[in-house]
Structure 1
Amino acid sequence: MHIEFLEIGGKENLRPYWQKYLSKALLLVFAVDSSDPERFPVAKEHLHEVLRLDPILPLMVLANKQDLPSSCTITDLHDALSLSDAGERALFLIGTHVKKGDSELSSGVQDARDLIIQMVSGSRFRAV
């Protein structure tokens, strides 16, 4: 299986490309620094802007930096991003952390990888 990931940033000059790439996407993976709650309102705004472009596209939110003591809980991040307003789509919120130089994937990253493979291999989600 070959899975292609495309990272598109949130800068204003990149936003016109969102719709172009979302039309071919099987899943939106949205990563958030869970140790930086001051940026949650901006993350929420951009996330919901993207979600409006495709009301059924499955969403996986990666709550990164869960290994830091300053990280918020998954429940707090769910509330801060208003994920209950994400519509009638498949929604997954997974706590992750990645350390530089660490050759082993954290259990959250492994879970995300396994779920992505399951989702794009044609199980219960739409195909493009």
Structure 2
Amino acid sequence: MYLPQVLLLVYVVDSADHARLPVAKQLLHQLIQNDSTLPVVVLANKQDLEGAFSITDIHDALALSDIGDRRKMFLIGTHVAEDGSEISSSMKDAKELITQLVLEMQ
């Protein structure tokens, strides 16, 4: 309902939750199926946890190569300190990228 009004989609997945990645893949593909140019930023969160899927594994699990060549697509590994005391460089990079994409779309 809201997607026709957005400038880009930021999709966050839990890199350590292997069982839910198939559902995350299905929902992502459903969200973007009607807009072949909507930019997508996928944040693969919890990269700091033992057993978390790598960025390559997340790319494959979400079948990001099937999404198409016409859209801007970004996959960034992220994590946040458990106590929230510091913002990781990957989160800062994600914020800068999202800001840049929004500014380009306006």
Answer whether TM exceeds 0.5 for this pair: yes
* Per-residue Cα deviation, 1:51-105 (whole angstroms, up to 9, x for no partner): 1031110000000000001101000100000000111210000000113322321
- Of the candidates 41, 45, 69, which is equivalent to residue 26 of structure 2? 45
Equivalent runs, 1:34-73 vs 2, <5 Å:
34-73=15-54
Task: Within 5 Å, give how 1:42-121 maps onto structure 2.
Answer: 42-87=23-68, 88-121=70-103
Give me the whole-angstrom Cα distance separating, in 2, the residues matched to 1:40 and 1:55.
22
4+ residue segments displaced more than 6 Å:
none
| Separation in structure 2 between the aligned mates of residue 101 and residue 115 of structure 1, nearest angstrom | 25
User: TM-score scaled to structure 2, two decimals?
Assistant: 0.93
**CA RMSD after TM alignment:** 1.1
1:1-12 maps to which residues of 2 (within 5 A)? Answer: none
Which stretches in structure 2 are left out of the alignment for 5+ residues? none
Distance in 1 (alpha carbons) for counterparts of 2:83 and 2:21: 27
TM-score of the pair, normalised by structure 1: 0.78
Which one-letter code corresponds to 1:55 in the other structure? S
Q: In the alignment, what sits opposite 1:8?
A: none
Structure 1: runs of 5+ lacking an equivalent:
1-19
Distance across 1 between alignment mates of 2:8 and 2:56: 22
Q: Could you tell me how far apart the structure 2 residues matched to 1:44 and 1:50 are?
A: 10
- Aligned-pair distance for 1:48? 0.1
